[in-house]
A and B are shown apart, each in its own frame.
Chain A
Amino acid sequence: MKQNKLRITLYALLLTILFSTLSIQFAYAQDDIPTDDEVNEVAKGLYCPVCENTPLDVCPTEACKQWRDVIRTQLAEGKTKEEIEQYFVDYYGDRVLAEPPRTGLNWLVYILPPAVILLGAVLLFKNFQAWTKPKKTESVSSQERSASSSSDKYISQIEEELKKRK
């Protein structure tokens, strides 16, 4: 059974190579040959280990071209996007994926930023509560301060003017 599958795969591979060497117009007339768009759709989410931070669909290097051919072959075999991604992960490791898989230590990637932001929000909120408790002594100095600033005067002037209009 397994051998059979292997044989079919090899056969498909051979056929694909054969097709791709034939005239391009001919190849594109065939429905079962994946289009560039279908290949790019998968390649978009993959990163080769050599070209840092360049997704596979736009990477101009020869190595990446070969990877795209691998994707084309596998698509022709009927593999899904997930299966192809898994194939590359098995061969080259998690780094080919655009994001770390959500397992083990990698959870830190997804948890830490929201946790820090949440913590910041909580701290800010607590401080707000502490600050907004009424304190009589402070209000005087703050009035002095706002009076000293020319642009604040301007704002209050605008505010007053708006009140008058209402």
Chain B
Amino acid sequence: MLAEFGYGVLVVSFLVTVYSGVAAFFGVRKNSASLIESARRAQLLTFPLITVSSFVLIYLLVNNHFEVSFAYEVTSRSMPTYLKITAWWGGQAGSLLFWSWLLAAFTSLVTLRKWDRDIEFLPWVIVVSAITLAFFLFMIIFHENPFTRYWLVAGNVVESMFKPTVEATIFTPENGRGLNPLLRHPGMIIHPPMLYLGFVSYVIPYSFAIAALITGRTDDRWTRITRRWSLWAWLFLSFGLVLGGRWAYDVLGWGGYWGWDPVEIAAFMPWLTGTAFLHSVMIQEKRGMLKQWNMVLIILTYALVIFGTFLTRSGVLSSVHSFANSPIGPFFMGFVTLTLVVSVYLLIRRWNDLRSETEMKSMLSREALFLLNNLLFIGILVVCFWGVIYPLISELATGFKVTVGPPYYERATGPLFAGLLFLMAVAPFSAWGHSTLQTLGKAIWKSTLASFVLTIILFFTYTQNLYAIIGFFLVALAIFSTLHEFWRGTIARQKTQNENFFTALSNLMMRNRRRYGGYIIHISMALMAIGILGIELFQKETQGTVAAGEALNVGNYTVEYRELASWDVPSDDVNYTRAVLDIYENGIYLGQLYPRIDYFYDAEQTMTIPGQRSTFRDDLYILLVDWQPASNTGATFKIYVNPLVNWLWIGSLLFLLGIIFAAWPDKELEPVKVKPSAQQTSAAD
């Protein structure tokens, strides 16, 4: 009964969404204020409706309604309540509902807050968002329904939403299969919603962009309205990616954080275009240039978001066969293609109206360097997209599948990332409009010198690896020059405003939040690069089987195996096997580590939890690979030494601080600042 109710509400919300889109469309076309208002109200209704449906699903998940197939697949009796709630986004059907819920919420936020101010765009925003939402609801209702139930029909279990035959009775399995244990990690509980928050937030700037294309407003109004949306979208997406990396490091048990898996790349691709957009949109605001390009970027981001949502949850790209057989594959690709074609058509129609208002003056100007940055980001995107797609092309063309793995991605993106580091160092010193080699050189020579000195020291004390030397030099250059930029601004302010150093620094940053938030992000990126260089170039590993009292050596570390215990915890439905290891570095005792293997009875799956010892210099990361239960004397361990990897996480934290600093709303100032300049530009047009 409850499942039918949840499903019914979903169907109603689909109809309401379709109505809101159609009403908004004809409302603008026929210039009918009442129709537009009706569309708005229908749109506002979608959020409570989808909320009710979601609550029903959560109720079914929490209360062990295993007759509902989704509840059977993602929950089990032993799972704690909070995990059962998060199982909402733990499977494909639920996560699509979660996606829709977020989109309804965000669109409602937009139509509620500044309806009168943005009235020219908002009906179109409702149309675009309604099309997207209707598509997702359609997929849920017809193909990925989380409310379908099991029925007993003549002794067979059948999955169906409604009673398949008159005699059919509900079938309730004794226990559910439970959420994949790998997904029960705290990082994995927040990772998908963060990613989805990022994904869905990007629908808003896209909707405004399309609204601008349709209404023919060629100024930067749409980018100004959605500036915060794209920043927050970027924040959530970045946070989601970082959490995913940390989760992989802690749970997947291969000593790394990023494996260039298509699923990871699917989330990374919209981040790439989103990052390019974040930069190039500044050129449009400052110089009135690149309007066409920004449209291209936001359209691409939207397409990649839909593509990514579909890829992350379905895995259908693993082969042509599974794609064709997947009920949702062709629909998703069809939708992505359709929206791309329509968006590009709208863009081409306005192409000439979106010409730059000013011209590029120098190849070293800030805007020119930003364009180079865009080229590099798009380059990485091309590498990623091609790597994900090529196995399918190969299978279609030759009938044979190939693997495009990490070596391809690392080789191809390495130089591009290096280029980005270099731009990060140089671009802040170039001026909008005009810069010369001389002015740039003057600004950057001190940082360059400092970086050289540091690199030479590293050469003699740490590494002679050429890639590492180049990498560390670029990292140092990016950090020093960004710090120099802080210094330069603070000193200038100190002189003109007569403030002490710290007041000057804080005022400088507070008054140019986006800029200095951006610089904090640059520094954090450089710190993350240190971690990536460390683990990529200097990782050491060894594997071996030892008896109690014996030791394995890797680098300066000695790992001595003490004992191993295996026990059941019936309340968790898990068996734990834990080894105790003594750790020595250069003969000095450091403490113990406890690598573990957890076996989940409900899901019949193991999870490898590493023993980790983390310092700024390196991580000792030990996995229990195997053990001999009979004699209980021997066990196999895989030991990694991951140099500098901690800087990746330190950088990630700083990165989040940087984005939050840049994106934090200062509501009081915003309308005062934005309105006049927006009007000014439109008047100039």
Contacts and interface: CB of A to CB of B under 8 A. Distances in A.
A40 B543 contact: yes
A108 to B, nearest CB: 7
Given A113-B383, A149-B286, A149-B677, A155 B545 contact: no
Given A94-B402, A109-B390, A145-B358, A152 B511 contact: no
Contacts of B398: 104-105
B412 A146 contact: no
A32 interface: no
Interface in A146-166: 146, 148-152, 154-155, 157-159, 161-162
Interface string A95-115: 111111000111011101110
Nearest to B485: A158
B358 A94 contact: no
A35 interface: yes
Contact of A142 (B401, B433, B638): B433
Nearest to B254: A58
Contact of B378 (A36, A60, A96, A120): A120
A96 B255 contact: no
Interface in B285-306: 285-288
A145 B287 contact: yes
A52 B318 contact: yes
A158 B492 contact: yes
Contact of B496 (A105, A106, A157): A157
Contacts of B375: 117, 120-121, 124
B677 A28 contact: no
Given A113-B379, A124-B375, A159-B431, A95 B544 contact: no
**Most chain-A Cβ atoms within 10 A of its Cβ — which of B288, B318, B408?**
B408
A1 interface: no
**Most chain-A Cβ atoms within 10 A of its Cβ — which of B394, B416, B673?**
B394
B357 A37 contact: no
**Most chain-B Cβ atoms within 10 A of its Cβ — which of A100, A105, A159?**
A100
Interface residues of B, number: 76
Interface string A41-79: 000000100001111001010000000000000000000
A106 B318 CA distance: 18
B304 to A, nearest CB: 16
A40 B515 CA distance: 47
Given A149-B677, A152-B432, A157-B496, A99 B404 contact: yes
Given A109-B390, A154-B511, A117 B403 contact: no
B400 A95 contact: yes
A155 B431 CA distance: 8
A141 to B, nearest CB: 6
B10 to A, nearest CB: 32
Contacts of A99: 403-405, 407-408
Nearest to B376: A117
A109 B382 contact: no
B259 A53 contact: yes
Contacts of B262: 53
Contact of A124 (B372, B416, B433): B372
A116 interface: yes
B544 A36 contact: yes
A128 interface: yes
B286 A145 contact: yes
A132 interface: yes
Given A47-B405, A132-B360, A154-B512, A112 B496 contact: no
B608 interface: yes
Contact of A109 (B254, B408, B416, B511): B408
A55 B255 CA distance: 12
Given A95-B401, A97-B403, A117-B375, A60 B360 contact: no
A131 interface: yes
Nearest to A93: B400
Given A93-B401, A98-B407, A36 B433 contact: no
A146 B286 contact: yes
B544 A28 contact: yes
**Most chain-B Cβ atoms within 10 A of its Cβ — which of A116, A142, A148?**
A142
Contacts of B511: 154
B166 to A, nearest CB: 43
B636 interface: yes
A150 to B, nearest CB: 7
B368 interface: yes
B363 A146 contact: no
B586 to A, nearest CB: 21
Interface string B382-401: 11001100110110011011
6 contacts: A47-B405, A98-B406, A106-B402, A117-B382, A127-B360, A162-B488
5 shortest interchain CB distances as A-B pairs: A131-B360, A36-B543, A58-B254, A98-B405, A100-B402
Given A106-B394, A161-B492, 16 more contacts: A35-B543, A36-B543, A36-B638, A53-B260, A93-B400, A94-B402, A97-B403, A105-B398, A109-B408, A110-B408, A117-B382, A131-B361, A144-B684, A148-B680, A152-B286, A159-B431
Interface of A: 24-25, 28, 35-37, 40, 47, 52-55, 58, 60, 93-100, 104-106, 108-110, 112-114, 116-117, 120-121, 124, 127-128, 131-132, 135, 138-139, 141-142, 144-146, 148-152, 154-155, 157-159, 161-162
